[in-house]
Chain A
Amino acid sequence: MGTGTTRHEIPGTTIFDGAEAQKGYALNKMCFSFNDGTNRAAFLDDEEAYCHRYGLSDDQTKAIRDRDVLRLLELGGHPYYLAKFAGIFRLDVQDLGALQTGLSKEEFQARLVAAGR
């Protein structure tokens, strides 16, 4: 599935377009629901049931269970909605940056500081 549009690849980056939005719709809709504290609690109460209720695929449900951010992105997750999923576990954007780049949080922070020199 594509959008019929050719893109130039940007390494380490997914352009979130219509094809991605369609692939990740259920996953992102679930994460959007986490704006509401009642929904966050319902998710924590029974994660599998909550994923099922939103119609996530088996792969998406597994990636949620594994807290596998890179896989969730591959499966159509959008960073803004996934941030609400990560927020349930009090992970900030530097925790997520470290997870995605395979660095420790300290190494990831050092890299950011170096970009300012």
Chain B
Amino acid sequence: MARIVGSIMSTHVPSIAGAMSRHAEGEPYWKPFFDGYEPVRAWLDEVRPDVAVVVHNDHGLNFFLDKMPTFAVGCAPQYLHADEGWGIPEVEPFPGDPQLSWHLVESLIGEEFDLTTCQEMLVDHAVTNPMQLCWPDPDDRAAIRIVPVTVNTVMFPYPSARRCYALGEAIGRAITSYDAEEDLKVVLMGTGGLSHQLEGRRAGFINKEFDLRFLESLTEEPAWATQYSGEDLVRLTGSQGVELLMWLTARAALLGGARKVTSNYHIPISNTAAGTVVLEPAA
């Protein structure tokens, strides 16, 4: 059998990788952010997941505009990072779990989610950064298998918040129905966010009030953000703040009540309101 031990939501700002490679975690600029990962790592030491299902958005490493799937599931034996064009250090390949991937595909398509399946998939900072933040030691990362799930937030229309929430619930049902030989422990990850905008005259937009309301909603009122359209979310959270769709997906997979293990919120990391949350299924 398989069970979900919790959901980790984490920002994936590219400059994090540079800071880690320079060992800058203790510098005044970075410390309030990196301190938020100590309780995450302590929790991971306790629950010791075998697999991470990583809900993320690609930024033009794996997918281009020629083919842009709304939802894609990685089904590869391993996932490679690669040169992203602007110089963040490349990390070692991540082992996959094709058997669980194909089970997810069967189960999700069985629930009428029309997925793209990928037997080769490059993963960018949206996967590598949160993995490095949670497991800074490469040996620890090598012991975790991943199943990447990609959500399109590159080109409108994005899947709606409601649809992402439903996908998360379906992922939760797929994992809990997985007939694994071992007692498989799965952690969900939702990467990106919170409010930020990189481009245009509104570059640098941050909405602390909205972010705090969203963070609060994750435990008691998890579907709160599904009331908003894609355009609403761009207006309220910035063009890239829409990455909260990954958080919603990862939250919904807990299928019911949730307890907050830890939470951190810090402005700014690069141009972003950085958020870190761990939720456990309510007993």
Contact = CB atoms under 8 A, between A and B. Distances in A.
B231 A35 contact: no
Nearest to B154: A80
Q: Which of B198, B199, B202, B266 has the most CB of A within 10 A?
A: B199
Interface in B202-224: 202-206, 208
Interface string B252-283: 00000000000000111011010000000000
Contacts of A8: 231, 235
A14 B206 contact: no
A116 B204 contact: no
B249 interface: no
A37 interface: yes
A108 B204 contact: yes
A3 B281 CA distance: 42
Contacts of B65: 21, 25, 28-29, 32, 78
Contact of A116 (B82, B156, B208, B240): B208
B5 interface: no
Interface stretch (B38-46, B56-64, B70-78, B181-189): B56-64
A57 to B, nearest CB: 17
Place the interface of chain B in its size category.
35 or more
B252 to A, nearest CB: 25
A69 B30 CA distance: 28
B28 interface: no
A11 B268 contact: no
A113 B85 CA distance: 28
Contact of A101 (B14, B59, B203): B203
Interface of B is mostly: loop
Nearest to A5: B157
B198 A79 contact: yes
Given A11-B201, A97-B271, A17 B155 contact: yes
A84 B200 contact: no
Interface string B225-266: 000000100110001100000000000000000000000001
B61 A83 contact: no
Contact of A112 (B15, B202, B206): B206
Contacts of B85: 34-35, 40, 83-84, 87-88
B150 interface: no
A115 B195 CA distance: 11
Contact of B60 (A11, A35, A36): A35
A7 B229 CA distance: 12
Interface of B: 14-15, 59-61, 64-66, 82-87, 154-157, 197-206, 208, 231, 234-235, 239-240, 266-268, 270-271, 273
5 contacts: A18-B155, A32-B60, A83-B85, A93-B198, A97-B198
